[in-house]
Amino acid sequence: MSDITDRSIMAALGRQLTIAVAQQSAAASNLANLNTPGYRTREVAFDEALDRELKGGPALAATNPGHLSGVVDAASARQTHEVDGLPTRRDGNNVELDRELLHMTRASGDFTAAQTALTAKFRLVRYAINEAK
């Protein structure tokens, strides 16, 4: 059984933020190419990105002993793949406006959820510091 520590929670929230940003960037790129002939829809698969993140990547540089160490590999989260099975228009483009807006909304929700959890965690730390005075 693995221990749930502040470090593991912070790392998990960091991964969630990184993946949400990558998913939103992929959807924005698809929307930007909505009318580009021959453009194929790309996406970041959450499970694949999470697997890459959990396997580890380059460690963050801790320039001070008080810094948290962690593993964040933003490049791995940005890896996308072409989406199969979408209907293609006559110009060869298969980007669907509604699908991309839905993906952006979901990614925004994931980001907001992680951001809210981080805010609550930092609020607790700030409260503990202020109460010690």
The 10s digit of each residue's pLDDT in 29-78 is: 999 999 999 999 999 976 666 666 666 554 455 566 655 555 445 555 56
Strands 42-43 and 81-82: antiparallel
Q: Using the 8-state DSSP alphabet, how is residue 63 labeled? A: S
Other C-beta atoms closer than 10 Å to the C-beta of 86 total: 13
| Structural contact between residues 79 and 49, judged by C-beta atoms closer than 8 angstroms | yes
Q: What is the pLDDT of residues 20-30, one digit of tens each?
A: 999 999 999 99
**Cα 111 to chain center, whole Å?**
7
Give the position of tokens 């072409």: 82
Residue 128 to residue 111: CA distance in whole angstroms:
26
Residue 30 to residue 45: CA distance in whole angstroms:
15
DSSP secondary structure string for all residues of 91-123: TS----HHHHHHHHHHHHHHHHHHHHHHHHHHH
The domains of the chain are located at 6-132
pLDDT for 72:
46
Give the rounded percent of residues in the chain with a pLDDT score beyond 70.
73
Q: What is the pLDDT of residues 71-97, one digit of tens each?
A: 445 555 568 899 999 999 999 999 999
Q: Using the 8-state DSSP alphabet, how is residue 84 labeled? A: P
Task: Name residues whose C-beta falls within 8 Å of residue 59's C-beta, 6 or more positions apart in sequence.
Answer: 69, 70, 71
